[in-house]
Structure formats: C-alpha cells, structure tokens
Amino acid sequence: MRWPAVLALVLLSGVAQGAELKSPFRDCGECPEMVVVPAGSFLMGTVPRPGESLPRAEREPVLMRIPKSFALGRFELTRREFRAFLRESGYEAGVGCRVWNEAEERFELDRARGFNQPVEPRVPRDDHPANCLSFADAKAYVGWLAKKTGKPYRLPSEAEWEYAARAGSTARYPWGEGADEGCEFANLYDLAGHEHAAFAAEYAHCNDGFAGLAPVGALRPNAFGLFDMIGNVAEWVEDCYTDSYAGRPRDARAWIWTGGCNLHGLRGGSWLSPPAQARVAVRGAAEPTLRASDVGVRVALDLEAR
C-alpha cells in the first residue's frame, strides 16, 4: 500500500501530546546512560516520491503505535561499558571481524581482529563505540546488564529504533530531507571520509569532521536527545529481517519467530555509509554471527518495572 504524501503528513503528527523530555539516567557507574522516549505513533518506512525506486523492505510504510514510553541508550554502547561487561562476566570477546579494506575498497573478514583489536578506531578511546560485536555478543551484554541491575534491559525493536531515530521527523533524515545538511548530526561517508579514503561511493557534501569512527556524542543529538542514531556504527535491533512490512506487529514489539532468524536488522548506517544508505527508514541486515567494525549496539529498557 502506498501512502499519499498529504495523508502521511496528517498521520505523522507523532509524539504524544504534552510529552516532555526527562533527564537522562544510568543504573550503575559503567551502565549506559539512558534517555526516556515518549509514547507516540509514526509511519514506519518511506513514502516513495513519484518515479523513485526504493527497496520493498521500506517502500510500503505502516502506521505504528508505540503505546508506552521506554528508555533507549543516549549513546551507542561504548568501549568502556562493554569492557566492564567482559571484566565482570568473564565473557570472551571473539575474533574474526569484517573490516573495510581501504586499498581494495571492499569489506573482508580479518580473523585477527575483534573488539580488543579493532582496525578502526585506530587509536581506541573509552568513549568510542564498541564494535566488532555479533548479535549474540549484543544479547549477552544486555542479558548481563539486566541481571546486574535487576531491570529489563534488552535490545530495541526495529519499530522503537526508527521511532526514536525520527524523533518526530517525517523526513528522509531526522534533520530534514538533505544528506548534505546532516554533518552536524551524523558521522557518515562525507568530505572528511572522501578526502581520507576516496572510495567510489556517494558522499555527503559537507564535513562531519571524522574520516573514521567518532567518539560517541561528538555531534548534535536528535529531538529526543539521542546521539548518533544515524551513522558512526550501525546498530543491531531485536527483529528478524524481512523484505516487507506486510503482516508485522503494528506496535513496539519486535517481529521475531521461533527457530531463530537467518538475518537480524541493522539500523542507521555507519561512518562508511553513503548518505542514501543512512536514511532513517533504510533497513540493513546481517547474519547474527557477523562481527563487523561498522556494527555496534544501543541498549533499550522497559520502564514499567522502574
């Protein structure tokens, strides 16, 4: 089903009336800082422009309702936070990470690389996003965090992710329609990246200041106070990936099925993404075993138990 643009604008009035942003919080010293995302509704997907070709996965939008407020990581999970998990749990960060080979302009599996030995960032800092994490690593982390805090930490659903990333925006990007206006908000493949690597892909014609991974929160947040939803590292969501929204739950629940998924959703694109691949509705996916230098985690939390 296609949605006429005028109808879409009417439907997308969005965030619950009277919602006001609450202060961020964290449940322990090395726990992720959390932002309360208000309840609301939104159109998930992209209304195609006349003549525009978009993947089926996003071009048949669905009206979604997020019935209750929830909390989402203010930032991508950081190296410091993931290291606390490794230290306290004894979990081993595996090796074998998909990295970008600049010389050959392609991704390749580097069996010697992993969270502890990333190619990027070249000089890792505590506040860089944790990367080279598989879906299982992400689940292990949120499981540990839930046990440690006694609170229902988990991965975000795909609906929650897009709702939170849009933060009330109906545009192609949370900041508006143009990729070239996004360098204040998102670390993508931009002039800085192009000057450094110059691989053959479209780039944003502005300078976000980062040719590689940026520390979390280096750029401006969206209207919900969330940083780096678009770009930097792509983020795992709980949902199995499908190539259509037909039949999916129309609320905040993740769309998963017993027996496991061949592919899980990845959202937001990364610092390596051409801007068109980092639009807010673009649906990425990967095998749950994939560890990649451009993939990380953002945690979510149910609030009813608080």
**Cα dihedral 153, 270, 48, 223 sign:** positive
Give SS3 for 87. Answer: helix
Interface stretch with Ca ion, choices 51-59, 167-175, 180-188, 282-290 (CB under 5 A): 180-188
Contact between 187 and Ca ion per CB under 5 A: yes
Our finding on whether 228 is near Ca ion (CB under 5 A) is: yes
**Exactly one of 41, 78, 157, 232 binds Ca ion (CB under 5 A); which one?**
232
CB of 233 to Ca ion, least distance (A): 5
- Of 14 and 174, CB closest to Ca ion: 174
Burial class (CB in 10 A: 0-12, 13-18, 19+), 179: buried
**Binding test (CB under 5 A) with Ca ion, winner from 70, 163, 175, 210:** 210
Contacts of 23 (CB under 8 A, 6+ apart): none
Question: Cβ(223)–Cβ(169) under 8 Å?
Answer: yes
Piece of 13-21, 87-95, 187-195, 258-266 that binds Ca ion (CB under 5 A): 187-195
CB atoms within 10 A of CB 251: 14
Smallest distance, Ca ion to C-beta of residue 228, A: 4
- Kindly tell me which of 41 and 131 has the beta carbon lying closer to Ca ion: 131
Q: Does 120 bind Ca ion (CB under 5 A)?
A: no
Supply 303's token pair: 């609030």
CA distance 3 to 92: 47
Tokens of 155: 């991965």
For residue 213, the one-letter residue type is L
Nearer to Ca ion, 36 or 211 (CB): 211
| Token representation of residue 129 | 């996003």
Tokens in use for 56? Answer: 């089926």
- Alpha carbon separation from 121 to 2, 46, 130 (Å, rounded): 41, 32, 10
In whole angstroms, how close is the CB of 187 to Ca ion at the nearest point? 4
Q: If binding is defined by CB under 5 A, does position 215 make contact with Ca ion?
A: no
- Residues near Ca ion (CB under 5 A), total: 10
* Using rule CB under 5 A, residue 190 touches Ca ion: yes
Which CB, 208 or 238, lies closer to Ca ion?
208
Whole-angstrom Cα distance, residue 219 to residue 56? 31
User: Nearest approach, Cβ of 128 to Ca ion (angstroms)?
Assistant: 12
**Contact range with Ca ion by CB under 5 A, out of 22-30, 47-55, 270-278, 282-290:** 270-278
Q: Using the minimum distance from each CB to Ca ion, give the nearer residue, 62 or 192.
A: 192
Counting contacts by CB under 5 A, is residue 193 touching Ca ion?
Answer: yes
Does the footprint of Ca ion cover residue 208 (CB under 5 A)? yes
Minimum distance from residue 51 beta carbon to Ca ion (Å): 30
What one-letter code names the amino acid at 115? F
Of the candidate spans 98-106, 152-160, 161-169, 221-229, the one that interacts with Ca ion by CB under 5 A turns out to be 221-229
Residue 121: exposed, middle, or buried by beta-carbon count in 10 A (0-12, 13-18, 19+)? middle
The amino acid at 21:
L
Cα angle at 292 between 78 and 59, to 5 degrees? Answer: 100
Nearer to Ca ion, 65 or 194 (CB): 194
Q: How far is the CB of 104 from Ca ion (least distance, A)?
A: 20
Q: Using CB under 5 A as the criterion, which residues of the chain lie in contact with Ca ion when the complex forms?
A: 187, 190, 192-193, 208, 210, 228, 232, 268, 271
